[in-house]
C-alpha cells in the first residue's frame, strides 16, 4: 500500500491522540468522515497502525525508576537468543529490548518502583539467561520521551 499526504496526516493525528472521533479526525486532515474511516481501516489492515493504546503515567503508578540495562554476552547462538527473548517477554517490568552494534550486545529499558525491585528484576534475568556482563544506568531526568514516529508530509 502506498500512502499519501492524507494518510500521513491521519497517522500524525492518531499518534497524538488515537481517541479522536472519525468526525474530528476528518476535520483535522480535511476529508469526509467516510473517507477517513476507509483510510484508517486500510492503514490498520496494511500494518501501518499496529495497535491503539493508552499511554500510562508510570510515576502515578509508583514506577519511579527507569533503568537501561546493558548486556554483553559471549553466546551469539539461536538458542541463547531464544532464551533471552522468552525471558524478557515474561518480565512485565521490561518495556523494550534491542540487539545493538558495537561493544554492547543488548540494551533493555525497564520501569520499576525502586532499587529493590530493580535488584529482583536483575536476579530473575540473570538466573534465566547466562550473560558475560550486565550493567545498569538509571534515569535521573527525562528531557524527551515520546512514542511518536516522525512522519514527513510530502
pLDDT tens-place string over residues 101-119: 999 999 999 999 999 999 9
What's this model's pTM, rounded to 2 decimal places?
A: 0.89
How many Cβ atoms are within 10 Å of 85's Cβ, its own excluded?
Answer: 12
pLDDT of amino acid 46: 98
Tell me, yes or no, if the two domains 5-45 and 59-138 fold the same way.
Answer: no
Compute the Cα dihedral for 49, 60, 71, 79 and give only its sign: negative
Mean pLDDT of 47-70: 96
Q: Where are the domains of the chain?
A: 5-45, 59-138
Assign domain 5-45 to a CATH class.
Answer: mainly alpha
Residue 154 scores a pLDDT above 90: no
Model pLDDT, residue 148: 95
pLDDT tens, residue by residue, 2-48: 999 999 999 999 999 999 999 999 999 999 999 999 999 999 999 99
| CATH architecture entry for 59-138 | 2-Layer Sandwich (3.30)
Q: In terms of DSSP bridges, do strands 65-72 and 94-99 run parallel, antiparallel, or are they unpaired?
A: unpaired
Spatial strand order of the sheet with 65-72 comes to: 94-99, 106-112, 65-72, 133-138
- Tell me the pLDDT of the chain averaged across its residues: 96
Amino acid at each position: 500500500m502506498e500512502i499519501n499526504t492524507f494518510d500521513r496526516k491521519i497517522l500524525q493525528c492518531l499518534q497524538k491522540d488515537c481517541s479522536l472521533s472519525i468526525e474530528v479526525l476528518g476535520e483535522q486532515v480535511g476529508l469526509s468522515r467516510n473517507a477517513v474511516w476507509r483510510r484508517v481501516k486500510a492503514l490498520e489492515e496494511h500494518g501501518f497502525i499496529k495497535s491503539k493504546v493508552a499511554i500510562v503515567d508510570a510515576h502515578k503508578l509508583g514506577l519511579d525508576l527507569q533503568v537501561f540495562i546493558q548486556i554483553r554476552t559471549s553466546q551469539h547462538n539461536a538458542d541463547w537468543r531464544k532464551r533471552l527473548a522468552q525471558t524478557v517477554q515474561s518480565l512485565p517490568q521490561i518495556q523494550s529490548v534491542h540487539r545493538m552494534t558495537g561493544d554492547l550486545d543488548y540494551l533493555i529499558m525497564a520501569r520499576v518502583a525502586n532499587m529493590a525491585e530493580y535488584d529482583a528484576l536483575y536476579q530473575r534475568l540473570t538466573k534465566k539467561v547466562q550473560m558475560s556482563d550486565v550493567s545498569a544506568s538509571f534515569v535521573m531526568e527525562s528531557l524527551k520521551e515520546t512514542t511518536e514516529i516522525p512522519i514527513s508530509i510530502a
